[in-house]
């Protein structure tokens, strides 16, 4: 499989603190690539650098054969790189459909329309309805984002990223703060979208990670200490020592 | 919501209409001046003297009961203009008067001209209105903007100062003033500096003066600007090396009061002084001091004369204020006893009068006052009248 | 019950709509070292934030030394004698090492031999060497020592450590464990959140495992170390 | 016809009839006064575009109003009296200035953005103060208003009023269209959640800048009208307290509501006029000088609104309607 | 252009800069700790000047009057904080801007009602003359006093912020408010105190500048914007940044006004130089701000890492 995303020696410092330290990894087209590691290992910082909301100090990001390191976030989105947030980030006062239609609008033509009402563009709403169905929010389409249940908001969070029709989806802890039933819903959603989109998944829920991931990279102190299929990661001693704990050795 | 708004608008319009019904048997004066801020003392003196004159007149002007509407322009041209607009268009005053500063006046009085309301200026008399732009609805009661400065230039020439440094604010009257000084000064101009109107810190300018080493320094800085300048001038030690000359108002009572003894021996030129020996002036000075417990300044004298002038004109036309031509003729005749002694209007409706040299000294009671020393100009007009088309 | 220091009863805490704690209970007696265990995202840090008043609980009660504190402001709670060594250390970048220790030095528990900046320097000589350095010039390990020192100089009844060994080199981590052991020996009450269970069972008296915002298991060190099933089920080990 | 449309037509009819009524009553002052109110309504509505719709707390809007006034004034003073040149020039100049100020200040956020827009506007104030050629601190008096042609004499108060009214209506209608068009949706999205707007692929900075520039341009139009209205331009138009007053209008009327700016301008100026000109007798008996301290009332009302009714008066009314 | 002139103008710039610092120092701390925009800071400066003018007159002693005005203004500032500003911390910046703008209007009118629109304040007679600094360079004694007071207060503030526990707590609060809270710092009380100190600094500036300028309503409004410029340049929350920024702004402004027109005259036609010189000079500090912003968007000495 060819690499869809290739990260080369990405580095980012905050003051004296190293957030990502020469991170290199590849995401293959079609795979779900999980990124795990202890808190503060630099996972969110890495996602931010891939998505373009944070500029790296050094290194490069190649997406689909194109160097996107210097591109702004919105340009990367247009190139097919979308993300979701660890802390739900939706348009809380707009309805589900309005949320999604906005994301559809973002990739369909210029938004420098100052005169024609958006409401007259049926294409946007039609497509938004499709995506609402995809994320299982069809029957909640006209509810304001802020009034949805937590799990529904998380689904909408993913839906906003999906609506940009990405080729690579960066999911930052999609199951954060969820109960077991709600987690199942998101896992199901990821299972569905993986058929058409490659996924980078940052997640602490190891059950979900081992169930979904084709490959896993382990980030510790801003460095990738291992990459491999789930069984390799389970068996990797360095991973167990650094992340799963010293104790795991004697287990 | 909209209905409520409509109701509000209707109520608003109604109160406006209700307020507009007015009587016809009185004379309405719109008085706008600078009554707050560091330069307020000037406007306050004009206002106090003006209202004093009306009070001494039994609350009347020319036999009609006088209604004086007072507005504070806050030293802001746009505020001055809005007040003029209101007095002229809403209150429909018969005369407008009061402005101290020519920039505020220039911004405001076109409203009066357009609506054929006569403006009687108790102070500002800028050169354009004396010449090409002379206007039948404009009367300058005090002195043409250049006059004090011409007199000061004349005096500096007589004293033989070889170099003089000039400072004035960057506005019409400032430019007029330095132009006037230069017209009669034969020595060298060390430098000519225009500061911001309303500037209060002169540290940078004083440093430049020191570096230029002039013999004399002439400043045109009315109100708070002059007070601050003179204080800072003395504080800088320059007063030992450089002779400071000011126009009359630059070292009058409003400046002497806050600055104090540092003023002693300062020369200035004016068209009026406390010690002018005529009955009108004696009455004015005495009544003013009695009423306000302070000595009047030259601005007060101007305000007082303005009221007397209007009084004489209203009397002359027997209250027929709608006949603007008659009112104009009556004003131009200036049939009243001015506190400055004799004066008459030029054909541009600017005064022709005497100018004197004064020095700050102590009076019999030990107070700091300006004393008349000599006459610099006799029956002096202005240089712009030739450009005025008015007859 | 007289030696009960902290009593958390049925607290529920949420960030906006996302509820993290669903009726958590916790008890700490004076002199005990207690752990809070569980996988990431199960509510350990939130529990600590609720105790400190930083993210107040919406329901439930928290008592400290007999007083209800669940509605109090964080600074008030801290002054009652709870000191936090927070996740991510939160060193003040614009204060020097010495200032970190001097600024908060106070004998809040009225200890007979109170912690002073000097004692902290004796405990962590590396901090003494870097006393005049600013907070943002320190390495991760130094920051961690400073965070502990900063908490100690307030002489708290209860010392709370949240992920105190996270992201540290093994040698430094070992130093922190030794320090905690010494503190415990000196009678300091400690609540610790960490994931090195192997070390924690040696260090602590009792353990609490949180699973999805509730207490899933509580017990002593021996019980925990002998029950590998618990490790696997709740701690992902 | 629904109630909303009826109210709109009634308000418009009242606005159209007003100058005729005043003319009949020989009260032309109020026509001039109303024109001034409507011009400030345009200025406040333009600020509302960036403040309310765009969610950018721009504290330097007076710079754009003032620049428009100066450009139009300088052209008239220089003999170019045609409004067809002067007003577009004013709009263009303000837009260019907004582009420059916006490009610099939109790089920053929060408190910085507020302070920097404030400082740049104050810079324009000092710049105009020191421009001797254009009157400096003395200001620039104009001999006539701009000329519109077509036999319309802007010197006539009633004609001028209708032109201003037309401009305000045009601006509000354009704002209404814009708010519901693609661009308006993006701006609303950015205001609500800037991070997310960027993450779904909108070039946030660019859209914010465009919004800033449109608002600046509309402010320039208000300035050009002001210059003609008063036949006078001075730096005080650009002083930062003027920006604050504009903000007060927007808040008073309702942030991000179509009518907010206009409503606020009418309320504030009418209130000022009423306090100064129509003192309440019993209040006058207690505090004889109170009409001179109208700003005390404005300040207290503002403080109370900010503390207790952040949605402004329009918010209060609509909240009641929902209840 | 002589060296003495340059030296004298530099002293003038320093004097202005130090007074700006007094205003900016309080403002920047309020920003840093509470993330709060306080436009009414200029009103405290005005209030300080009015208190000083009144108390100097009442006591007949300049020093005593000024010294009494400082605690009086500090008290007024703390009252303001407790009564109004405290409720604004949790609100958005727009609310803060509007509420404090409303406070300016209120303060102006209240001062106008109590004192009138302006007051006279005279400098002590002993200081109203010049002091011979160098041969051929006398300098106003009162301005030297201002420089002295400014330096002394800056030093005092430095000691307070850098050496005392209160100062450490203030810095801690400015960089990480939540952690300071968790360490038991009573931020609310600390902030009231900081606000009082800020008001006291305003009073010092207002009282010292009173005799030189004018004690009038609205005196704080223009200087407030310059204080903002200082903060933007120096970095929010940093006292050191405020000092560097203030002196920089004071120098650039004074030197620019004094020399730029002459400098332009050297290589530009005179009519253009005389027009452009003052125009550029008047906006020089804002250009400085734009440049700093471009190079370092967080200011020269950002308090937060």
| pLDDT, tens only, B253-277 | 888 887 788 788 888 889 999 989 8
pLDDT tens string A172-208: 988 876 766 778 888 999 999 999 999 999 987 778 8
Query: Is C221 in contact with C207 (CB distance < 8 Å)?
Result: yes
Whether the pLDDT of residue A245 is over 60: the answer is no
Q: Compute the radius of gyration of chain D from its Cα atoms.
A: 20
Per-residue pLDDT tens over the stretch B168-219: 987 777 888 888 899 999 999 988 888 877 788 888 889 889 888 999 999 9
Mean pLDDT of chain D: 88
Cβ neighbours, 10 Å, residue A134: 18
Give me the average pLDDT of each 10-residue run along chain C (237 residues): 82 83 93 88 88 93 94 95 92 92 93 93 92 85 92 96 80 86 94 86 92 89 85 70
Report H helices in B140-223: 147-159, 172-184, 203-212
Q: How many domains does chain D have?
A: 1
Q: Is the pLDDT of residue D117 over 80?
A: yes
Cα four-point dihedral sign D201, D204, D210, D215: positive
| Residues whose CB falls within 8 Å of the CB of residue D49, separated by 6 or more in sequence, listed in order | D175, D211, D214, D215, D218
CB proximity list for D309: less than 8 A, separation 6 or greater: D315, D316
Bridge partner residues of A10 (DSSP): A23
CATH, domain range E12-119+139-295? 1.10.3470
Distances (CA, A) of B274 to B223, B277, B336, B360, E140: 19, 9, 19, 11, 33
User: Are A16 and C138 in contact (CB < 8 Å)?
Assistant: yes
> In degrees rounded to 5, what are phi and psi of residue B69?
-95, 125
Residues of D in contact with B10 (CB under 8 A): 14
Please state, as a whole number, how many other Cβ atoms lie within 10 Å of the Cβ of residue A66: 11
Q: Which of E39, E105, E229 sits opposite D119 (nearest CB)?
A: E229
* Mean pLDDT within D286-304: 81
Mean pLDDT of B75-103: 90
Q: In this complex, is the C-beta atom of D153 within 8 Å of any C-beta atom belonging to chain B?
A: no
Domain B21-143+276-345: which CATH class? alpha beta
* Per-residue pLDDT at B52 exceeds 90: yes
Cross-chain CB nearest to D11 (options B5, B103, B106): B5
Determine the residue of chain A that is closest to C198 in CA distance: A247
**A240 SS3 class:** helix
E166 in contact with C, Cβ within 8 Å: no
Q: Is-same-fold flag (B21-143+276-345; B147-270+356-380)? A: yes
- The predicted-structure confidence for D151-171, as pLDDT tens digits, reads as follows 888 888 899 999 999 999 999
3-state secondary structure of B351: strand
Nearest Cα neighbor of C85 from C131, C140, C144, C167 is: C144
Residue E275: pLDDT above 70? no
Q: Is E258 in contact with E250 (CB distance < 8 Å)?
A: no
Q: What distance in Å separates residue A159's CA from the closest CA in chain D?
A: 11
Instruction: State whether B106 and D141 contact (CB < 8 Å).
Output: yes
Residue D318, pLDDT above cutoff 60: no
Q: How far apart are the C-alpha atoms of E250 and E288, rounded to whole Å? A: 12
What is the predicted pLDDT for the residue at B20? 40
Are B197 and D138 inside 8 Å of each other by CB? yes
Asked if ipTM goes beyond 0.95, one says no
Each residue of B16-49: b (16+ CB within 10 Å) or e? beeeeeeeeebbbbbbbbbbbbbbbbbbbbbbbb
In whole angstroms, how far apart are CA B93 and each of B24, B50, B100, E299?
11, 16, 19, 56
Say how many domains are in chain C: 1
Task: For strands C18-29 and B351-362, give the pairing.
Answer: unpaired
Number of CB atoms found within 10 A of residue E190's CB: 18
pLDDT of residue C199: 85
The residue extents of the domains of chain B are: 21-143+276-345, 147-270+356-380
Among residues C19, C99, C24, C18, the alpha carbon closest in space to that of C62 is found at C24
Q: What is the pLDDT of residue B6?
A: 47
List, edge to edge, every strand of the sheet that includes C82-85.
C82-85, C158-162, C189-193, C33-37, C206-211, C214-220
CB contact under 8 A, E93 and D240: no
Interacting residues of A43 by C-beta distance below 8 A, sequence separation 6+: A35, A36, A37, A172, A202, A219
pLDDT band at B14 (very low <50, low <70, confident <90, very high): very low
- Give the residue numbers spanning the domain of D80: 3-322
Q: Do D122 and E286 touch (CB under 8 A)?
A: yes
- Selected residue of D28, D66, D77, D139 to mutate for chain B interface (largest B Cβ count, 10 A): D139
* B298 within 8 A of B123, measured Cβ to Cβ: no
B17 touching D (Cβ < 8 Å): yes
Contact C/A (≥3 CB pairs under 8 Å) = yes
Q: In the prediction, which pLDDT does C62 show?
A: 96
The strand pair at C206-211 and C214-220 is best described as antiparallel
Place of tokens 């004015």: B284
On whether any CB of chain D is under 8 Å from the CB of A79, the answer is no
Domains of chain E by residue range: 12-119+139-295
pLDDT band, very low/low/confident/very high, at B228 (cuts 50, 70, 90): confident
Among the listed ranges A85-94, D249-258, D280-289, which one has the minimum average pLDDT value?
D280-289
pLDDT (mean) for B346-351: 92
pLDDT at D312 over 70: no
Averaging pLDDT over each range in A2-6, C183-187, D298-302, which range is the top one? Answer: C183-187
**Residue D95 predicted with pLDDT over 90:** yes
E296 Cβ partners below 8 Å, 6+ apart? none
What pLDDT, on the 0 to 100 scale, is given for residue B185?
Answer: 92
**SS3 readout for chain C:** CCCEEEEEEEEEEEECCEEEEEEEEEEEECCCEEEEECCCCCCHHHHHHHHHCCCCCCEEEEEECCEECCCCCHHHHHHCCEEEECCCCCCCCCCEHHHHHHHCCCCCCCCCCCCCHHHHHHHCHHHHHCCCCEHHHCCHHHHHHHHHHHHHCCCCCEEEEECCCCCCCHHHHHHHHHHHHHHHHCCCEEEEECCCHHHHHHHCCEEEEEECCEEEEEEEHHHHHHCHHHHHHHHCC
pLDDT for A243: 61
| Residue labelled with tokens 């973002």 | A106
* Domain range A1-80+167-178+190-251, CATH class: alpha beta
B110 contacts chain D (CB < 8 A): yes
The pLDDT tens digits for E102-111 are: 999 999 999 9
Mean pLDDT of D222-246: 92
Q: What's the mean pLDDT in E31-60?
A: 90
* Segment A204-242, tens digit of pLDDT: 777 888 899 999 999 887 889 899 999 998 888 887 776
Distance (Å) from the alpha carbon of E166 to chain C's nearest alpha carbon: 8
CATH topology of domain B147-270+356-380: Rossmann fold (3.40.50)
Q: Do chains E and D touch (3 or more CB pairs under 8 A)?
A: yes
Question: How far, in Å, are A83, A163, C126, D285 from residue D203 at the CA level?
Answer: 15, 17, 48, 60
pLDDT at D60 (0 to 100): 93
Q: What residues in E contact D119, CB-CB < 8 Å?
A: 225, 228-229, 232, 286, 289
**Res. D315 pLDDT band, cuts 50 70 90:** low
Distance CA D136, CA E278 (A): 11
Q: Do E230 and E105 form a contact (C-beta atoms < 8 A)?
A: no
**Residue D5 parent element (H or E):** helix D3-24
Share of chain B above pLDDT 70, in %: 94
Chains that touch D (3 or more CB pairs under 8 A): A, B, E
Burial class (CB in 10 A: 0-12, 13-18, 19+), A221: buried
CB–CB contact E214 B231 (8 Å): no
| Pairing assessment for the beta strands C206-211 and C33-37 based on DSSP bridges | parallel
E213 to chain B: which residues are within 8 Å by CB? 200-201, 228
Quote the CA–CA distance of A161 and A171 in Å, as a whole number: 9
Strand bridging mode B26-33 / B95-97: parallel
Q: How far apart, in whole angstroms, are the C-alpha atoms of residue B368 and residue B262?
A: 10
User: What residues of chain C, 200 to 219, have a C-beta less than 8 Å from chain A?
Assistant: 212
φ/ψ of C92, rounded to 5, equals -75, 120
- pLDDT confidence band for D320 (50 / 70 / 90): very low
Q: What is the token pair recorded at A158?
A: 């993913």
Instruction: Tell whether the model's pLDDT for residue A20 goes beyond 80.
Output: yes
Average pLDDT, chain A: 86
Residue C151 or residue B41, greater confidence: C151
pLDDT score recorded for residue D316: 58
Number of neighbours of residue A50 by Cβ within 10 angstroms: 26
CA B227-B232-B238 angle, to 5 degrees, is 120
> Which residue of chain C is at minimal alpha-carbon distance from E187?
C75
**Residue D164 and residue D170: Cα distance in Å, rounded?**
10
Distance separating alpha carbons of residues B307 and B337, to the nearest angstrom: 11
Q: Does residue A53 have a pLDDT over 80?
A: yes
E98 and D251 in contact by Cβ < 8 A? yes
Rounded CA separation A72/A75 (Å):
5
Kindly calculate the radius of gyration of chain B based on its CA atoms and give it in whole angstroms.
21
Q: Is a pLDDT exceeding 60 seen at residue A250?
A: no
Q: CB of B210 within 8 Å of any CB in chain E?
A: yes
- At C115 the pLDDT is 95
Calpha distance C20→C41 (Å, rounded): 8
Chains interfacing with E (3 or more CB pairs < 8 Å): B, C, D
Are C30 and C6 in contact by the 8 Å Cβ rule? The answer is no
D136 and chain B in contact, CB less than 8 A:
yes
């Amino acid at each position: 499989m060819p690499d869809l995303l290739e990260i080369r020696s990405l580095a980012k410092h905050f003051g004296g603190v190293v957030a990502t330290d020469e991170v290199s990894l590849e995401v293959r087209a079609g795979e779900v690539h999980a990124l795990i590691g202890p808190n503060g290992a630099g996972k969110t910082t890495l996602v931010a650098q891939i998505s373009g909301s944070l500029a790296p100090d050094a290194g490069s990001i190649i997406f689909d054969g194109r160097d996107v390191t210097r591109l702004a976030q919105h340009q990367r989105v247009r190139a097919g790189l979308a993300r979701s947030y660890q802390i739900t980030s939706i348009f809380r006062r707009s309805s589900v459909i309005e949320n999604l239609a906005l994301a559809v609008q973002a990739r369909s033509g210029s938004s420098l329309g100052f005169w024609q009402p958006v409401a007259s563009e049926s294409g946007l709403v039609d497509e938004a309805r499709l995506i609402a169905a995809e994320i299982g929010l069809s029957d909640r389409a006209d509810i304001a984002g802020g009034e949805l249940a937590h799990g529904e908001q998380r689904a909408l969070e993913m839906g906003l990223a999906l609506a940009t029709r990405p080729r690579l989806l960066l999911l930052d802890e999609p199951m954060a703060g969820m109960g077991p039933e709600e987690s199942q819903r998101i896992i199901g959603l990821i299972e569905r979208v993986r058929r058409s989109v490659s996924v980078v998944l940052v997640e602490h829920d190891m059950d979900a990670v081992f169930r979904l991931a084709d490959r896993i990279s382990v980030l510790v102190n801003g460095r990738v200490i291992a990459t491999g299929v789930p069984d390799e990661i389970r068996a990797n001693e360095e991973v167990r020592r650094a992340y799963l704990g010293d104790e795991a050795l004697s287990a | 919501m909209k209905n409520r708004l409509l109701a509000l608008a209707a109520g608003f319009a109604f109160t406006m209409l209700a307020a507009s019904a007015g009587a016809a048997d009185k004379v309405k004066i719109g008085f706008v001046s600078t009554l707050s801020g560091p330069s307020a003392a000037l406007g306050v003196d004009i206002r106090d003297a003006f209202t004093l004159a009306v009070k001494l007149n039994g609350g009347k002007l020319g036999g009609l009961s006088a209604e004086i509407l007072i507005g504070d322009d806050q030293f802001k041209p746009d505020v001055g203009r809005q007040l003029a607009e209101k007095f002229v268009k809403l209150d429909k005053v018969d005369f407008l008067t009061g402005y101290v500063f020519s920039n505020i006046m220039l911004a405001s009085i076109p409203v009066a001209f357009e609506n054929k309301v006569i403006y009687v200026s108790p102070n500002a008399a800028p050169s354009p209105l004396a010449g090409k732009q002379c206007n039948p609805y404009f009367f300058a009661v005090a002195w043409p903007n250049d006059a004090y400065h011409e007199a000061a230039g004349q005096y500096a020439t007589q004293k033989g100062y070889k170099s003089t440094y000039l400072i004035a604010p960057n506005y019409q009257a400032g430019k007029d003033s330095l132009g006037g000084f230069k017209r009669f000064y034969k020595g060298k101009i060390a430098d000519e500096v225009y500061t911001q109107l309303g500037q209060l810190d002169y540290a940078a300018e004083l440093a430049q003066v020191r570096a230029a080493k002039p013999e004399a320094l002439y400043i045109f800085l009315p109100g708070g600007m002059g007070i601050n300048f003179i204080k800072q001038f003395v504080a800088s030690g320059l007063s030992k090396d450089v002779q400071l000359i000011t126009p009359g108002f630059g070292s009058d009572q409003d400046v002497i009061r806050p600055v104090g003894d540092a003023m002693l021996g300062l020369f200035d030129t004016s068209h009026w002084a406390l010690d002018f020996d005529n009955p009108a002036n004696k009455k004015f000075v005495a009544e003013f001091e009695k009423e306000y417990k302070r000595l009047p300044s030259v601005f007060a004298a101007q305000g007082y004369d303005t009221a007397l002038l209007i009084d004489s004109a209203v009397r002359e036309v027997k209250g027929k204020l709608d006949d603007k031509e008659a009112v104009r003729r009556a004003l131009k005749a200036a049939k009243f006893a001015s506190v400055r002694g004799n004066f008459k209007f030029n054909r541009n409706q600017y005064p022709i009068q005497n100018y004197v040299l004064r020095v700050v000294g102590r009076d019999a009671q030990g107070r700091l006052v300006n004393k008349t020393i000599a006459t610099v100009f006799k029956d002096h007009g202005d240089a712009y009248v030739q450009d005025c088309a008015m007859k | 019950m007289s030696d009960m220091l902290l009593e958390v009863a049925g607290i529920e805490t949420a960030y906006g709509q996302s509820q993290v704690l669903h009726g958590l209970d916790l008890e700490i007696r004076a002199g005990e070292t207690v752990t809070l265990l569980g996988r990431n995202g199960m509510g350990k840090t939130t529990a600590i934030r609720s105790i400190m008043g930083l993210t107040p609980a919406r329901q439930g009660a928290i008592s400290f030394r007999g007083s209800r504190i669940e509605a109090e402001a964080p600074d008030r709670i801290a002054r009652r004698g709870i000191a936090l060594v927070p996740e991510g250390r939160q060193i003040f970048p614009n204060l020097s090492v010495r200032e970190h220790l001097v600024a908060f030095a106070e004998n809040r528990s009225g200890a007979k031999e109170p912690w002073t900046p000097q004692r902290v320097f004796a405990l962590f000589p590396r901090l003494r060497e870097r006393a005049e350095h600013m907070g943002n010039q320190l390495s991760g390990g130094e920051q961690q020592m400073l965070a502990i020192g900063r908490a100690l100089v307030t002489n708290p009844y209860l010392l709370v450590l949240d992920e105190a060994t996270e992201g540290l080199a093994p040698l430094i981590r070992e130093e922190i464990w030794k320090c905690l052991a010494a503190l415990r020996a000196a009678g300091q009450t400690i609540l610790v959140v960490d994931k090195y269970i192997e070390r924690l069972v040696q260090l602590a008296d009792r353990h609490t495992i949180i699973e999805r915002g509730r207490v899933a298991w509580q017990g002593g060190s021996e019980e925990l170390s002998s029950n590998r099933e618990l490790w696997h089920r709740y701690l992902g080990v | 016809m629904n109630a909303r449309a009826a109210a709109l037509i009634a308000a418009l009819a009242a606005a159209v009839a007003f100058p005729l009524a005043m003319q009949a009553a020989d009260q032309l002052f109020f026509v001039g006064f109303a024109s001034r109110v409507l011009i400030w309504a345009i200025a406040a509505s333009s600020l509302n575009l960036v403040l309310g719709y765009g969610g950018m707390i721009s504290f330097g809007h007076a710079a754009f109003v003032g620049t428009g006034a100066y450009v139009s004034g300088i052209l008239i003073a220089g003999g170019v009296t045609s409004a067809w040149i002067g007003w577009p020039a004013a709009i263009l100049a303000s837009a260019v200035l907004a582009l420059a100020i916006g490009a610099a200040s939109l790089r920053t956020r929060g408190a910085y953005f507020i302070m920097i827009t404030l400082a740049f506007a104050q810079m324009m104030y000092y710049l105009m103060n020191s421009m001797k050629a254009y009157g400096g601190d003395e200001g620039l008096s104009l001999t006539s208003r701009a000329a519109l042609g077509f036999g319309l004499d802007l010197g006539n108060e009633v004609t001028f009023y209708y032109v201003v009214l037309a401009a305000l209506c045009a601006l509000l209608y354009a704002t209404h269209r814009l708010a519901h068009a693609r661009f308006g949706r993006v701006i609303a999205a950015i205001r609500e959640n800037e991070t997310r707007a960027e993450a779904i692929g909108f070039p946030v900075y660019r859209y914010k800048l465009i919004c800033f520039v449109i608002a600046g341009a509309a402010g320039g139009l208000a300035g050009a009208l002001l210059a003609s209205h008063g036949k006078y331009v001075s730096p005080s138009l650009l002083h930062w307290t003027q920006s604050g007053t504009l903000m007060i209008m927007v808040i008073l009327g309702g942030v991000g509501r179509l009518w907010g700016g206009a409503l606020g301008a009418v309320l504030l100026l009418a209130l000022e006029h009423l306090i100064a000109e129509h003192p309440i007798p019993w209040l006058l008996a207690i505090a004889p000088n109170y009409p001179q301290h109208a700003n005390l009332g404005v300040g207290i009302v503002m403080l109370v609104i900010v503390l207790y009714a952040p949605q402004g008066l329009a918010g209060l009314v609509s909240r009641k309607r929902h209840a | 252009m002589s060296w003495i002139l340059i030296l004298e103008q530099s002293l003038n710039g320093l004097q202005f800069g130090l007074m700006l610092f007094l205003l900016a120092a309080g403002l920047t701390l309020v920003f840093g700790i509470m993330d709060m925009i306080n436009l009414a800071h200029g009103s405290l400066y005005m209030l300080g000047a009015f208190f000083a003018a009144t108390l100097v007159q009442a006591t007949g002693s300049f020093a005593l009057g000024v010294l009494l005005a400082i605690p009086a203004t500090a008290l007024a500032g703390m009252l303001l904080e407790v009564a109004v500003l405290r409720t604004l911390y949790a609100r958005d910046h727009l609310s803060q801007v509007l509420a404090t703008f409303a406070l300016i209007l209120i303060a102006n009118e209240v001062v106008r009602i109590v004192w009138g629109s302006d007051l006279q304040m005279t400098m002590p007679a002993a200081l109203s003359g010049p002091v011979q600094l160098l041969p051929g360079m006398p300098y106003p004694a009162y301005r030297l006093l201002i420089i002295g007071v400014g330096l002394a207060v800056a030093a005092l503030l430095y000691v307070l912020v850098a050496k005392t526990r209160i100062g450490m707590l203030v810095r801690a609060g400015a960089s990480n408010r939540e952690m300071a809270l968790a360490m038991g710092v009573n931020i609310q009380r600390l902030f009231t105190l900081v606000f009082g100190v800020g008001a006291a600094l305003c009073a010092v500036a207002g009282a010292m500048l009173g005799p030189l300028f004018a004690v009038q309503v609205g005196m704080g409004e223009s200087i407030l914007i310059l204080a903002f410029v200082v903060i933007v340049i120096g970095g929010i929350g940093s006292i050191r940044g405020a000092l560097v920024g203030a002196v920089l702004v004071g120098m650039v402004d004074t030197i620019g006004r004094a020399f730029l027109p002459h400098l332009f005259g050297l290589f530009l036609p005179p009519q253009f130089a005389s027009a452009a010189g003052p125009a550029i000079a008047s906006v020089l500090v804002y250009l400085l701000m734009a440049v700093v912003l471009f190079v370092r968007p967080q200011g020269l000495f950002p308090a937060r890492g």
